[in-house]
Amino acid sequence: MQMSNTVEYALRAVVWLADNPEESHTSSSIAEATRMPSSYLSKILKSLSHAGIVYGQRGVKGGYTLARDPNGLSILEVVNAVEPVQRIRACPLGLEAHGKNLCNLHRTLDDVMIEIEKAFANHTIGSMLKKPNRVKPLCGLTVKGKNALADDRSTGIRR
Amino acid sequence: MQMSNTVEYALRAVVWLADNPEESHTSSSIAEATRMPSSYLSKILKSLSHAGIVYGQRGVKGGYTLARDPNGLSILEVVNAVEPVQRIRACPLGLEAHGKNLCNLHRTLDDVMIEIEKAFANHTIGSMLKKPNRVKPLCGLTVKGKNALADDRSTGIRR
DNA sequence: CGATTTACGGATATAAATATCTTTTTAATA
DNA sequence: TATTAAAAAGATATTTATATCCGTAAATCG
């Protein structure tokens, strides 16, 4: 049971945009700054754009900006944009016998999913930027050329 | 964000064993009863056996039985046996710069993982069997030949 | 003891998630 | 208006998770 790469990437990108709101950022500049695969990120940004979380401006001087107020944007919304939290609404065994009634196992598992939804919903992107922390968001990375850890070759790809 | 098949299968098997404790059950009989791929289940049962959650008896008249008291067995233990809940203990970006200190994003994500652990830990296998419910555990399936929904061809495989 | 049944360990195959690449569309600017 | 930059769309490749298969070990029974 693990946080998927897709969710991790999407959140990194959104936090980055929230923390650097003064200008728009291209897909590849975000990828470089936050150390993730550029072409995969571009796919993720499309989903975020569809969901209205980021705004993508095409063409020269284009790029992505955050389309929402970080203080009103929950982690749950970001997660749902790329990999929706799947509630259990009907028996996974596919038995029609009892309609919408779940047995205790699946009722319990759905309760766990509800808890997961709540845990995600409880945090906003804004709150993560505001909390004091010795460690800067995204582990001290900054915009390319300004203060980035230039000679770190790690990709950030897990597993 | 979804409950994996592996976790779903493991829990179905454990609940089945807890609900039918009077005799041992072969891997394939459990698979048939709870509608899941037999050979994959046998792999999952191996993990559960390693974790001491089920006991596997070889040979004629052998099979699996629950090795633990269902009332003291949490869902978390079953989940951890097959697909451990992965806490975030170091920066996924792999930066050594700040040791064990997580930035707010990863601190928050790890908090979510803690909530997931708690949600799993809060339920025991026994409690699911005891709760009154119009729908029987595992959606009314019973031991082969007794009362199973014999003409249902659904496999229970999602996605 | 030999045959049968079953778990166990590990190799192989298949499907799905992850990642990359190619082409098209849109916008800016020279 | 031509050129360039970048998102958007979607096809393709790679990797990982899911599922199957096969040989071995242990237990039972005749």
Could you give the percent of chain B with pLDDT greater than 90? Answer: 70
Q: What pLDDT, on the 0 to 100 scale, is given for residue A148?
A: 35
Residue pLDDT, tens place only, A56-70: 999 999 999 999 999
Q: What pLDDT, on the 0 to 100 scale, is given for residue B141?
A: 55
Report which of B125, B151, B122 is spatially closest to residue B138, judged by C-alpha positions: B125
What is the average pLDDT across A35-58?
A: 95
CA of B48 to C1' of C15 (A): 24
End-to-end alpha carbon distance in chain B: 13
User: Which chain B residues are Cβ-neighbours of A141 within 8 angstroms?
Assistant: 93
Mean pLDDT across chain B, nearest whole number? 84
Mean pLDDT across chain A, nearest whole number? 84
B78: enclosing H helix or E strand: helix B75-82
CB contact under 8 A, B134 and A101: yes
Nucleotides of C under 7 A from a protein CB: 4-11, 16-22, 25-29
pLDDT at A50 over 70: yes
A69-73, B14-18, B89-93: the lowest-pLDDT one: B89-93
Q: Strand C within 7 Å of which CB atoms in B 103-132?
A: none
A46-60, B94-108, B123-137: the lowest-pLDDT one: B94-108
pLDDT at A99 over 80: no
What is the average pLDDT across A41-61?
A: 96
- Chain centroid to Cα B18, Å, comes to 12
CB contact under 8 A, B3 and A111: no
Q: What pLDDT, on the 0 to 100 scale, is given for residue A143?
A: 47
CA of A58 to C1' of C30 (A): 19
How confident is residue A130, by pLDDT bands cut at 50, 70 and 90? confident
Q: What pLDDT, on the 0 to 100 scale, is given for residue B89?
A: 87
pLDDT at B144 over 50: no
Q: Name the residue among A1, A88, A152 with its Cβ closest to that of B95.
A: A152
Q: What pLDDT, on the 0 to 100 scale, is given for residue A154?
A: 34
Distance CA A45, CA A60 (A): 18
Residue pLDDT, tens place only, B13-32: 999 999 999 999 999 999 99
A and B: number of Cβ contacts within 8 A: 169
CA of B92 to C1' of D16 (A): 19
User: Which chain B residues are Cβ-neighbours of A106 within 8 angstroms?
Assistant: 139
Nucleotide closest to residue B37 (CA–C1'): D19
Cα-Cα-Cα-Cα torsion B142, B146, B151, B157, nearest 10 degrees, comes to: 30
Distance CA B4, CA A33 (A): 32
Q: What pLDDT, on the 0 to 100 scale, is given for residue A120?
A: 96
User: Which chain A residues are Cβ-neighbours of B131 within 8 angstroms?
Assistant: 104
How confident is residue B93, by pLDDT bands cut at 50, 70 and 90? confident
Distance from CA of A66 to the nearest CA of B (A): 17
What is the average pLDDT across A110-135?
A: 90
pLDDT at A95 over 70: no
Could you give the percent of chain A with pLDDT greater than 70? Answer: 79
Q: Give burial (CB, 10 Å; 0-12/13-18/19+) of B68.
A: buried
Q: What pLDDT, on the 0 to 100 scale, is given for residue B92?
A: 80
CB contact under 8 A, A86 and B2: yes
Q: What pLDDT, on the 0 to 100 scale, is given for residue A90?
A: 83
What is the average pLDDT across B97-112?
A: 83
What is the average pLDDT across A27-38?
A: 93
State whether the beta carbon of A5 lies below 7 angstroms from any atom of strand C. yes
What is the average pLDDT across B40-65?
A: 96
Report which of B47, B68, B55 is spatially closest to residue B126, judged by C-alpha positions: B68
A78-82, A128-132, B121-125: the lowest-pLDDT one: A128-132
Which residues have C-beta within 8 Å of that of residue A93, sequence separation ≥ 6?
B34, B35, B138, B139, B141, B154, B156
Q: What pLDDT, on the 0 to 100 scale, is given for residue B159?
A: 32
Distance CA B149, CA B159 (A): 22
Query: What is the pairing mode between strands B63-66 and B54-57?
Result: antiparallel
Which structure tokens are listed for A137? 């968001």
What is the average pLDDT across A132-140?
A: 63
CB contact under 8 A, A85 and B1: yes
The DSSP secondary structure of A60-96, one letter per residue, reads: TT-EEEE-S-GGG-BHHHHHHHHS------S-TT---
What is the average pLDDT across A123-127?
A: 96
Distance CA B1, CA A11 (A): 14
